[in-house]
């Protein structure tokens, strides 16, 4: 039998999915060359659209030129580190509900009347942007 605290909103487990950091870069090619020297290889993206996804072991970074300011901690519910679908997964709308129950203020919210792809954004106490971006 579990204790009431185990089921409280503040202690219920929340699976945010795959983690990566999205870097806002000034020069995509220069950044790609730099990270490749650190052992990263391209696994996705499109340089002609100014974005690339790179990995080194379990570390994943996205390089984005001219798309946003600052760097963003990114979570992808429903994906593993290769971008493959995982089931089951926690829908971003459920994550949104849980965060709000825990008193977390969201900068943007997903439409709870929809299903499928959606995202939410929030900011940590130090001003770091967090994107929870569900692609399916």
Residue ranges in 21-121 assigned as alpha helix (H):
28-37, 92-101
CB atoms inside a 10 Å sphere around CB 34? 13
Tokens of 92: 């971003």
> Can you give the pLDDT at residue 10?
56
In sign, the C-alpha dihedral spanning 89, 94, 98, 99 is positive
| Higher per-residue pLDDT: 7 or 34 | 34
Per-residue pLDDT tens over the stretch 21-80: 999 999 999 999 999 999 999 999 999 999 999 999 999 999 999 999 999 999 999 999
DSSP 10: T
Report the mean per-residue pLDDT for the chain: 92
User: What's the CA gap between 61 and 21, in Å, rounded?
Assistant: 5
Span between the terminal Cα atoms of the chain, in Å: 35
Predicted local confidence at residue 8, as pLDDT: 53
Report pLDDT for 29. 98
CATH of domain 4-134: 3.10.180.10
Q: Is the distance from CB of 22 to CB of 74 less than 8 angstroms?
A: yes
pLDDT tens figures, 104-132: 999 999 999 999 999 999 999 999 999 99
Domain ranges of the chain: 4-134
CA distance linking residue 22 with residue 52, whole number of Å: 10
User: Phi and psi for 28 in degrees, rounded to 5?
Assistant: -55, -45
């Amino acid at each position: 039998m579990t204790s009431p605290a185990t089921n409280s909103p503040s202690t219920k487990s929340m699976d945010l999915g795959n983690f990566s950091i999205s870097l806002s870069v000034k020069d995509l090619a220069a950044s790609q060359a730099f990270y490749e020297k650190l052992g990263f290889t391209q696994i996705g993206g499109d340089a002609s659209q100014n974005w690339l996804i790179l990995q080194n072991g379990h570390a994943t970074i996205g390089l984005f030129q001219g798309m946003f300011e600052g760097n963003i901690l990114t979570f992808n519910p429903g994906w593993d580190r290769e971008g493959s679908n995982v089931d089951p997964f926690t829908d971003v709308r459920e994550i949104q509900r849980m965060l709000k129950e825990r008193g977390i203020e969201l900068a943007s919210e997903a439409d709870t009347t929809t299903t499928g792809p959606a995202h939410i954004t929030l900011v940590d106490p130090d001003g770091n942007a967090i994107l929870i971006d569900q692609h399916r």
